[in-house]
Amino acid sequence: AGQTTHSQVVVLGSGPGGYSAAFRAADMGLEVTLIERYSSLGGVCLNVGCIPSKALLHVAYVMEEAHSASAVGVTYAKPEVDLDKVRAFKDNTVKKLTQGIQGMAKGRKVKVVYGYGEFAGPNQITVDNDGVKTEITFDHCIIAAGSQSVKLPFIPHDDPRVLDSTSALELKEIPKRLLIVGGGIIGLEMGTVYEALGSEVSIVEFADQLVPAADKDLIAVYSKFVKDQFNVMLSTKVTAVEAKKDGLYVSFEGKNAPEGQQSYDAILVAVGRSPNGKKIGAEKAGIQVDERGFINTDNQQRTNVPHIYAIGDIAGNPMLAHKATHQGHVAAEVIAGHKCVFDPKVIPSIAYTNPEIAWTGLTEKEAKAAGIPYKTAVFPWVASGRALGAARSEGKTKLIYKEDGTLIGGGIVGINAGELLGELSLAIEFGADVEDLALTIHAHPTLHETVGLAGELAAGTITDLP
């Protein structure tokens, strides 16, 4: 039989948004219940997203480094992959973090209730754990129920050879020929992993560039570098998939569509994620959900129902863990009576590919769309001693700034671009201009020096490159 409990704050979903909100609320003295349908806390990011993908990308990176070492005079034998050990490394990485979250919940006396939660009214959620129901009433609620992979109607998703990011991360086997539908960040990251582990990877993307959200000049560097690794079909779409015993036969349409059906051993569908807004009984609480399943909020993360908040993937784009975390903190602090808002200048995006593609603040596309006049300065890594010495000079560092020099965005493509991006994010949030970057002493020879040198190019203190 079920029971009824009351909590000052109920958080629905234990991903980066949910656990961050729950912990911050508990730290501020509120009594918190966290609801999660799965037995492991941490949401998509920790269990089947950010973390396992990065563990596998590390494996891919190690292999690619060993392979390319021949260019600097070191040749290794052909690598042998023990898939069970690779999987165990990934699973242990995930486990350390999810268990950490569990410990942190316990340490704060956050009550965790497992089961599927749905609103039963404006101040009540019903949690169903295999038929055992718990009624939880609340004063405040934070919805952090996240998102899930989009499925396509013309793809037989119930065929075990059709993967989404979750099943692809399970690494059951390495298909000989893998088609990735969708050339966004998740598609490219998984493609990087499978290519390193031995698959022939084809990528089909409807837009005319990979990672359509990023600026074209950054992507051009990446695309050139990986042109022999992937068979990329831009401006092309899949129109049909026929599942036969000996393969998945795919029909394409568009600018780079191959003639006739092509056969693959597996297909990974990575065409985006859709928010879970329509699956939580929102209407019973009077919460407005848009037709895509997003829940709109004000800049304090409040929905149209003033004591109910929404954060993370379910509250809109970009669907990124660090955005969810920050929104979670804002919601918890607002509930605790603090005057705080979510109003960032930057939400950095990173594709942890090889090379990495990273951007922060406004892209050129966004600046143009917003009608903001801007200039750019680009420092090519062929002029970086550190990049040359690492045999990886394909990268570039770009600044986007207003006519008065104020930085509004930046992009980096190259090894470690994701780590290098931090400086640009901080500079933009601090209101720095290009001269601030130019006048800051950057250590030599480093990759982050390219940020300072791009600043010098923008400020006009250097005018030529070696």
Residues in binding site for FAD:
54, 117, 313, 319-322
Q: What are phi and psi of 314, to 5 degrees?
A: -70, -20
Among 9, 10, 16, 300, binds ligand FAD (CB under 6 A): 16
35 binds ligand FAD (CB under 6 A): yes
449 binds ligand FAD (CB under 6 A): no
Window 127-166: contact mask with ligand FAD (x via CB under 6 A): -----------------xxxx-----------------x-
Minimum separation from the CB atom of position 465 to ligand FAD (A): 33
In the region spanning residues 247 to 286, those forming contacts with ligand FAD, defined by CB under 6 A, are 276, 280
Among 312, 395, 405, 411, binds ligand FAD (CB under 6 A): 312
Q: Which of 175, 203, 193 is nearest to 354 (CA)?
A: 193
Toward ligand FAD, which CB reaches closer, 272 or 385? 272
Tell me how far apart the alpha carbons of residues 94 and 8 are, in angstroms, rounded to a whole number: 30
Toward ligand FAD, which CB reaches closer, 321 or 438? 321
Q: Which stretch binds ligand FAD (CB under 6 A): 8-16, 219-227, 354-362, 396-404?
A: 8-16
The angle that helices 16-27 and 83-107 make with each other, rounded to 10 degrees, is 30
Minimum separation from the CB atom of position 147 to ligand FAD (A): 6
Burial letters 227-248, b for 16+ CB under 10 A, else e: eebbbbbbebbbeebeeeeebb
Minimum separation from the CB atom of position 379 to ligand FAD (A): 26
How is residue 302 annotated by DSSP? B
Q: CA of 338: how far to CAs of 109, 110, 260, in Å? A: 22, 20, 61
- For 180, other C-beta atoms within 10 Å of its C-beta total 30
Alpha helices (runs of H) in 197-289, residue ranges in sequence order: 216-225, 282-285
User: Could you tell me the two tokens for 90?
Assistant: 């990934």
H or E element in which residue 168 lies: helix 165-170
- Is 287 strand, coil or helix? coil
Window 162-191: contact mask with ligand FAD (x via CB under 6 A): ---x--------------------x-----
Which positions are annotated as active-site residues? Answer: 444
Minimum separation from the CB atom of position 357 to ligand FAD (A): 12
Tell me how far apart the alpha carbons of residues 327 and 24 are, in angstroms, rounded to a whole number: 11
Q: Which amino acid, residue 343?
A: D
Among 9, 30, 50, 201, binds ligand FAD (CB under 6 A): 50
Helix, strand, coil percentages, rounded to 5, for the chain: 35, 25, 40
332 binds ligand FAD (CB under 6 A): no
Minimum separation from the CB atom of position 122 to ligand FAD (A): 17
Toward ligand FAD, which CB reaches closer, 75 or 317? 317
134 forms beta bridges with 3, 127
Q: Which of 402, 419, 304, 312 is nearest to 360 (CA)?
A: 419
36 binds ligand FAD (CB under 6 A): yes
32 binds ligand FAD (CB under 6 A): no
Toward ligand FAD, which CB reaches closer, 258 or 281? 281
User: Could you tell me the two tokens for 258?
Assistant: 């191959």
With CB under 6 A, what is the number of residues at the site for ligand FAD? 35
Window 64-103: contact mask with ligand FAD (x via CB under 6 A): ----------------------------------------
Query: In this structure, are residues 171 and 90 in contact, taking their beta carbons and an 8 Å threshold?
Result: yes
Q: Which residues contact 35 (CB under 8 A, 6 or more apart)?
A: 10, 11, 12, 13, 14, 112, 113, 114, 115, 117, 125, 127, 136
Q: Which stretch binds ligand FAD (CB under 6 A): 34-42, 174-182, 361-369, 420-428?
A: 34-42
Q: Which stretch binds ligand FAD (CB under 6 A): 59-67, 319-327, 355-363, 368-376?
A: 319-327
Among 116, 206, 225, 249, binds ligand FAD (CB under 6 A): 116
Calculate the CA dihedral of residues 306, 309, 314, 315 and round it to 10 degrees: 70
Toward ligand FAD, which CB reaches closer, 14 or 297? 14
In the region spanning residues 402 to 441, those forming contacts with ligand FAD, defined by CB under 6 A, are none
Among 32, 44, 141, 197, binds ligand FAD (CB under 6 A): 44
Q: Which residues contact 302 (CB under 8 A, 6 or more apart)?
A: 308, 309, 334
Among 7, 10, 13, 269, binds ligand FAD (CB under 6 A): 13
* Binding site members for NAD(+): 182-189, 205, 272
| Binding interface with ligand FAD (CB under 6 A) | 12-18, 35-38, 43-45, 49-50, 53, 116-117, 144-147, 165, 186, 276, 280, 312-314, 319-322, 324
